[in-house]
Structure 1
Amino acid sequence: MKKALLFAVGFILYGVLMWFYLLHGAHTELPIQYRGSAADPTMFMNDRQLKLSYDFSRLKDLIYFLSVPLEWLIYLLVLGFGLSKKMGGAVKGITRFSLVHTGLYVLLLSFVSWLLTFPLRYYSYTVSRDYHISVQLFQGWMKDSLIDFWVGWLFTFLTVVVIYFFIRKAKKKWWLYAWLISIPFTIFMYFIQPVVIDPLYNKFYPLKDQALKEKILTLADRAEIPASNVYEVNMSEKTNSLNAYVNGIGSNLRIVLWDTTLDRLNDKQVLFVMAHEMGHYVMNHLYQNLIGAIILTLFGLFLGSKIYMWALAKWGKRWGIKGPGDIAGLPVLLLIFSLLSFLAGPVENAVSRKAEKDADRYAIEMTKEPEAAVGAFQKLTISGLSEVNPPKLVKFFLYGHPTMLERITFLDSYKDKYKPEELQKAKKQKQQ
């Protein structure tokens, strides 16, 4: 009980420190050399939007930095109070089938975690509603939360079944066998994500604007992408933010535009966004992400197995865990993998930011429309109340894209290279 209290007090102190850093300690002022430039938010946002952007960003970042250790705290409390041992014993009394034991245990643990994180997730939803980023009604948000829960349970259950099967069969090399099985599973997930999982949350349909569709497909043809369709998704039912993305691989690859993006960006801006997504395809970023995920899984399983055995040797008896193959040890594994994922996050973000900048470069060199590109990111900043120059710690842990300051400044640097033809001629005549 004392340790649980210490953990709780430590979590509260950590929350206060993060609040102080984000609201008072973080440096977010725009460097003087960028003031008055296209990246200066005062040039394209009004005073109210600037204040909303600052307040919303602070709250959103604080929620993230609270949510990560909250997950760790839940696993520690489940272990420390002996709840994991009790749940393991309870499911074994229901049936003699180990597969059912695993499914029920994962369901109980998932429910405990879902329930304890619900207040923070609900607060995050209300913040988005209050700042008019989200327009989703509570029942719609709750429906998505329940879909998240059951999809998460299914994949956790499948993963746990495989891992514990190999732990029981090969205590020393289970991580290697689990990794080998994970490879086809990861590839399979890349294939089914666009056509099976994404439609659970939103409706996808071919782009309605035929003229714009023709322009996008012409762009795809120039990029030598065998695209036959562009998809639109009805995100306006949920959010005011703008977005577009590409996911899936092979025949299931999809280029998707949110309908909010189509409503608020002009054709030139949409074409730049599409060229950016095509850049990911042309430069094989999707396949690089797939390979990266497989490699990270290998290292994660290897390190996780070593830490798992060490943790059980040190605290297993105290937690009531009979051995590595005891399902009651699952919170230990989940805690370890969560910690490793958190530590790997900044490296993944850095790689992702490089890929995003390369895609921006590809898009601007293909469209040759720096004004449209800059305008698109300015509108994205306004619609999402994004912070142009976020705190360094926030960028380090959260940003898989360059900051808006970096992106707008980079794209604006092309304005002299790709000036309209008449301006270029006038410049040449003036020089002569």
Structure 2
Amino acid sequence: MSARRAALVAAVVLGAAFVLVVVLRTPWTLLPDLPGGPTPPDPTAGLSPEAVTRAESFAGALRPASLASLVLGLAVSAVLGLTRLGARLVLAVARPLGGRWVWQVLLGTLALLAIGRLVTLPLAAYGEVVRHRYGLSTRSWPLWLRDVGVSLAIDAALTALGVLLLVWLVRRVPRWWWAWAAGAAAALVVVGSFLYPVVIEPAFNSFASLPAGQLRTDLLALAEENGTPVEDVLVSDASRRTTSLNAYVSGFGGTRRIVLYDTLLDRLPDDEIESIVAHELGHVATDDVLTGTLMGALGAAAAVAGLGWLLTWTPLLRRAGAESPADPRVVPLLLLLVSAGTLLATPVQNLVSRQVEARADLHALDLTNDAEAFIRMQERLATTNLSDPDPPAAWRWFFGSHPTKAQRVAFAEDWLRAGER
């Protein structure tokens, strides 16, 4: 069997393994069948007409810019990846340093990512203007630029190192580079999952322990009751950037901690904060992060094996102005394929995410046994975060990573009905 065909077979096998994990680990059924069927979601999710109008207005102002940014970014990537323009850029940026292949890969990747970010920057700035207009963002423009710069620097550095490793493998193991790269990609997903809480999160926020008090005691007790004790309860200085409300659990083992946005502490009563944290603890109890990491590792390995097949297709290489996968001029095409693959995978990822989030909602209801606090919390989050309670079906299908607020309130009502049986 040729190396190219072996890459295709590996991509299919790994893709099948990914699908199997998705099917087996995704919670498709959460509540028993109820008389009369599930409660139809109220499109308003119990919000006032003013709150619904404001949320819909905010979404209507932001969605076109989000779609335009997505399309524009992909179009620029396609122009650079499917013409010789990107190949020329890769050669040009490395020429002042002697033009060695290492500099072509590193500087070429950085230049391509910077161009993509600069092209969509006006749309990102417009989005920030909209968030300021609706009172959701509290960032100063210098802080916004700093966040954009830090995000780009982290993304560009990690991507450039990953691409450099891939091209190095192609040059060292010309026939079976994709197999080594697939293993490396899976390993990087696993390592990144563990390092994110201690490396990436502190780059954007500062954290301090929640002072001793009833809320801290209750949250630590909730984690113990959940069977997932935490090291600490931290408060993030999220109010420097936003007025939105959120909490999460991050880390593993000795680094596991509950993190509260500081915006929560002044705006939500303790029982609603506990409901949010119970949802996040649900992800820990059902090993959602570990399952997501496994899915990500399999998906990354399958994608790299697919690249091993695509990047040996001569017509495609010629279109990009590259001679082989070992040619640094393949970098623009590589980035395009990764972007396109990520976009195609988005609906699948979000389908799984919506089911997983619904299971975490169920866990929160079971752990706190307080559906009223859960429903009040959902209504308050929707009002404060300007969440459209019932977005268009197509948008929900493609971009929705969580059930809608209307669906979550209806789910809590069904949980109450199930408990009464």
1:319 & 1:97 partners in 2: Cα distance? 19
- Displacement, 1:378? 0.3
Alignment TM-score, normalising by the size of structure 2: 0.85
1:301 paired to 2:304: yes
Describe the shift of the 1:261–1:412 C-alpha distance in structure 2 as closer, same or farther (beyond 3 A): farther
Deviations 1:167-189 (A, max 9, x none): 22334432221121223322221
1:187 corresponds to: 190
1:73 corresponds to: 75
Give the match's secondary structure for 2:205. coil
2:351 corresponds to: 350
Instruction: Give the conservation status (yes or no) of the 8 Å contact 2:91–2:108.
Output: no
Unpaired segments ≥5 residues, structure 1: 1-32, 420-432
Instruction: Give the conservation status (yes or no) of the 8 Å contact 1:353–1:402.
Output: yes
1:394 paired to 2:399: no
Instruction: Give the conservation status (yes or no) of the 8 Å contact 2:238–2:261.
Output: yes
1:4 corresponds to: none
1:280 paired to 2:263: no
1:424 corresponds to: none
**Residues 139-288 of structure 1: pairs in structure 2 closer than 5 A:** 139-208=142-211, 210-288=213-291
Give the match's secondary structure for 1:413. helix
2:85 corresponds to: 83
Q: Aligned letter for 1:366?
A: L
Instruction: Give the conservation status (yes or no) of the 8 Å contact 2:311–2:324.
Output: no
Instruction: Give the conservation status (yes or no) of the 8 Å contact 1:368–1:418.
Output: no
1:56 paired to 2:58: yes
2:179 & 2:252 partners in 1: Cα distance? 25
2:384 corresponds to: 383
Q: Aligned letter for 2:307?
A: G
2:324 & 2:202 partners in 1: Cα distance? 41
Instruction: Give the conservation status (yes or no) of the 8 Å contact 2:249–2:259.
Output: yes
Q: Aligned letter for 1:392?
A: A
2:169 & 2:101 partners in 1: Cα distance? 14
1:115 & 1:69 partners in 2: Cα distance? 14
2:341 & 2:332 partners in 1: Cα distance? 14
Describe the shift of the 1:83–1:40 C-alpha distance in structure 2 as closer, same or farther (beyond 3 A): closer
- Displacement, 1:65? 2.1
Between 143-152 and 344-353, report the one with greater CA deviation.
Answer: 344-353
Q: Aligned letter for 1:378?
A: E
Give the match's secondary structure for 1:241. coil
Describe the shift of the 1:367–1:151 C-alpha distance in structure 2 as closer, same or farther (beyond 3 A): same
Deviations 1:179-228 (A, max 9, x none): 21223322221222111111111111112352201000111111121213
- Displacement, 1:73? 0.9
Instruction: Give the conservation status (yes or no) of the 8 Å contact 2:45–2:405.
Output: no
Between 282-291 and 320-329, report the one with greater CA deviation.
Answer: 320-329
Between 296-305 and 59-68, report the one with greater CA deviation.
Answer: 59-68
1:367 corresponds to: 368
- Displacement, 1:97? 4.8
Deviations 1:37-69 (A, max 9, x none): 8x553843242x322211211232222322222
**Residues 420-431 of structure 1: pairs in structure 2 closer than 5 A:** none
1:81 & 1:341 partners in 2: Cα distance? 21
State, as a whole percentage, how many aligned pairs show the same letter. Answer: 27
Instruction: Give the conservation status (yes or no) of the 8 Å contact 1:41–1:50.
Output: yes
1:410 paired to 2:405: no
1:16 corresponds to: none
Deviations 1:301-346 (A, max 9, x none): 1223323333xx2243354323221222111111111111111111
Q: Aligned letter for 2:357?
A: E
Q: Aligned letter for 1:385?
A: L
Describe the shift of the 1:346–1:96 C-alpha distance in structure 2 as closer, same or farther (beyond 3 A): closer
Q: Aligned letter for 2:401?
A: G
Between 219-228 and 359-368, report the one with greater CA deviation.
Answer: 219-228
Unpaired segments ≥5 residues, structure 2: 1-37
- Displacement, 1:361? 0.7
1:315 & 1:359 partners in 2: Cα distance? 44
Between 129-138 and 249-258, report the one with greater CA deviation.
Answer: 249-258
Q: Aligned letter for 1:375?
A: R
Aligned length, in residue pairs = 382
1:95 paired to 2:94: no
Give the match's secondary structure for 2:378. helix
- Displacement, 1:394? 0.8
Q: Aligned letter for 1:142?
A: L
- Displacement, 1:369? 0.7
Instruction: Give the conservation status (yes or no) of the 8 Å contact 2:39–2:411.
Output: no
The higher relative CO (CA closer than 8 Å, separation ≥ 6) is in 2
Deviations 1:75-111 (A, max 9, x none): 2222466332222322145236543332222222122
